[in-house]
Amino acid sequence: MSKLGKVGPYTLLERLGRGGMGEVYLAGSRRGERVALKVLHELAEDDSSRIRLEREVRALRRVESPYVARVLDADLDCARPYLVMEHIEGDTLLDRVRGEGPLDLALLVELAQGIAAALAIIHAAGVVHRDLKPANIIMGADGPVLIDFGIAQVIDATRLTMTGTFLGTPGYTAPEIFADEQVDSPADIHAWAATVAFAATGRPAFGRGTPEAQMYAVLNGQADLKGVPVALLPLVRAALNREPAKRPTAALLADRLSRLARVTGGPEAGVSSGAGALAAPVVEEEAARGRTTDDARPPAPRKAMGEDSRGSGPRPRP
C-alpha cells in the first residue's frame, strides 16, 4: 500500500506539484496504468476552487487534440473532488530552458508552431486557456502539450470573478486582463508571444521584478525581445499588440510558422532576411483581410521536441 494513500480508486505514487488550489500526483489505476491526478487539497475546498476544477474538466472535455492532455476520469461530487488526466512524459518548457538554456532555432520554431496549433484547436472549441506560460507546457515526445486549464474560460460560460483576487502569472498575462476589459482568445496570443520569447532568450520578456513591475511592463508594452531570432520577431511583435483585435489569430500563426519551419530546418537556417520576410507579412495580412477565424485547420503535429525529453515534471499544475 502506498504511503500517500488513495484518492477514489487511484493509488497515489508520487507528488508532482502543489499550489493554492490543489495537488498533483503521479497515480496508478486499478489496471496498473500511470495517470496524473489533480485533487483539491483540504484547505482549498471552497466553492470557487470547486467551480474552477469543474470548469477545467468542462474545458478539457471540449477539446480533442494531441497538443492537450486528455481527461480520463473525474469525480467532482466526492469529499475531495479530483481530475484524472493522461500522464505525459517530458520536462516542462520552464524546466527545459532553465536546465539547458534557450532553444535552438529549429526547435524554437517547432515549439512556437505547436503551441499556436494547440491554441487554434482550443479556441475553435470555445475555450480560452488564460494561463499559458512555460510551466504549463510539457515538452512531449510528439510535440508540446498544454496542461493546467484551471482558470480557463469557456466562452459561453459566466465568468468566475473574485473581488480583489488575480488569477494568473503577471509576466504572461495579457494587458486586457489587468485592465478588466473583455477577455477572449487574443489573450492567449499575447501569452504565446511572451512564452516564445522566453524559450528564445531564457529570460521573461517582461522582467523578473515584482508582480506590480511586471504588470506595469505588460500594460505599457515594455517587452524585452533582444535575442529573439529575426525569423520570429515580426510574429512575436504582432502578437504583443496592445489592441487584442490587431493580434494575429492562433490559426494564422500556426499556418505561418508551419511554412517558416520548412525554411528553418537546421540550427543556422532561417536567420537570414528571407526567413524574417516570410513572417513579416502577418501584420499587413491581418489588416488587409481582417482577423481570420480560429476554426481554420491547424497543421498536423510534427514529431519530436528535440531528441532528449528527459524527466517527468508535473502534468496538470495545481
Whether 184 is catalytic is no
Of 91, 131, 148, 255, the active-site residue reads 131
Structure confidence at residue 305 (pLDDT): 57
Per-residue pLDDT of the chain (318 residues; tens, 9 = 90+): 568 889 999 999 998 877 656 788 899 999 999 998 988 766 445 566 667 777 667 766 777 778 888 888 888 888 788 888 888 888 999 999 999 999 999 999 999 999 999 999 889 888 888 889 999 899 988 889 988 765 445 444 434 343 344 556 899 999 998 988 888 999 999 999 999 999 999 999 999 999 999 999 999 999 999 999 999 999 999 999 999 999 999 999 999 999 998 876 643 333 344 455 555 555 445 444 444 333 434 444 434 455 443 334 444 444
Structure confidence at residue 272 (pLDDT): 40
- The CATH fold assigned to 93-289 is Transferase(Phosphotransferase); domain 1 (1.10.510)
Structure confidence at residue 315 (pLDDT): 44
Structure confidence at residue 20 (pLDDT): 59
Residue 317 φ/ψ, nearest 5 degrees: -80, 155
CA quadruple 39, 44, 50, 55: dihedral, nearest 10: -70
Domain boundaries defined on the chain: 6-86, 93-289
Structure confidence at residue 271 (pLDDT): 38
Q: Please determine whether the domains at 6-86 and 93-289 fall in the same fold group of CATH.
A: no
Structure confidence at residue 69 (pLDDT): 81
Residues forming beta bridges with residue 35, ordered by sequence position: 27, 86
- pTM for the model: 0.76
6-86: in CATH 3.30.200.20: yes
Task: Check: CB of residue 261 under 8 Å from CB of residue 109.
Answer: yes
